[in-house]
């Protein structure tokens, strides 16, 4: 009696493994898209907190520019940008709407708008980042 597997047993195991992988692949893709969109939303929320904090600590107006390709913070009274990072498109995430500038007063309040909403999407994953005039940031799931 010899130990080992026959060619039929190995082929059957490979077929079963391929079927299981084929069933699980779409789910893994959706989970990956959810993670990437959540990361882009968290980056946008962190940029908002950073700009607000810079305005308060420096005592000057700070402007957060949000565009698909770049997030950028400039503080009045300085010649160089204070902070810059790649936008959501660098992660493959689409940012709905036109680029916007959020201006923070030295008190940490945004001026010129009451609320700003940014819609992020990738495949079936969607997030909406809502920024209030008073500095509150919420990340909502779904379209």
- pLDDT tens profile 97-142: 888 999 999 999 998 766 889 999 999 999 999 999 888 999 999 7
pLDDT, residue 32, reads 93
pLDDT, residue 122, reads 95
In the structure encoding, which two tokens stand for residue 141, read together? 């799931």
Q: What is the CA radius of gyration of the chain?
A: 23
In the structure encoding, which two tokens stand for residue 64, read together? 């957060």
| 55, burial (CB in 10 Å: exposed 0-12, middle 13-18, buried 19+) | buried
* Lookup result for tokens 């689409």: 94
- Alpha carbon of 54 to those of 46, 57, 90: distances in Å? 12, 5, 25
pLDDT class for 1, splitting at 50, 70, 90?
A: low
* Lookup result for tokens 């999407």: 121
Query: Over the chain, what is the mean pLDDT?
Result: 90
Dump strand ranges (E) for 11-136.
Answer: 62-66, 70-75, 83-86, 94-96, 100-104, 110-111, 115-122, 125-132
Residues 6+ apart with CB under 8 A from 117: 128, 129, 130, 131
Share of the chain above pLDDT 90, in %: 61
pTM: 0.80
* pLDDT tens digit sequence for 59-104: 999 999 999 999 999 998 887 888 999 999 999 999 998 889 999 9
Domains, the chain, in order of start with CATH, read 7-141 (3.55.40.10)
């Amino acid at each position: 009696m010899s130990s080992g597997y026959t060619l039929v047993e190995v082929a059957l195991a490979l077929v079963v493994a391929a079927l299981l992988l084929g069933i699980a692949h779409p789910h893994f893709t959706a989970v990956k898209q959810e993670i990437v969109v959540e990361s882009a939303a968290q980056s946008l929320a962190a940029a908002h907190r950073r700009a607000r904090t810079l305005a308060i600590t420096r005592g000057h107006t700070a402007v957060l520019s949000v565009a698909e390709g770049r997030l950028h913070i400039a503080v009045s009274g300085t010649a160089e940008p204070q902070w810059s990072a790649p936008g959501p498109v660098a992660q493959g995430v689409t940012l709905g709407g036109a680029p916007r500038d959020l201006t923070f007063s030295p008190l940490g309040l945004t001026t010129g708008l009451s609320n700003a909403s940014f819609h992020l999407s990738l495949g079936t994953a969607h997030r909406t980042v809502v920024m209030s005039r008073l500095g509150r940031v919420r990340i909502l799931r779904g379209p």
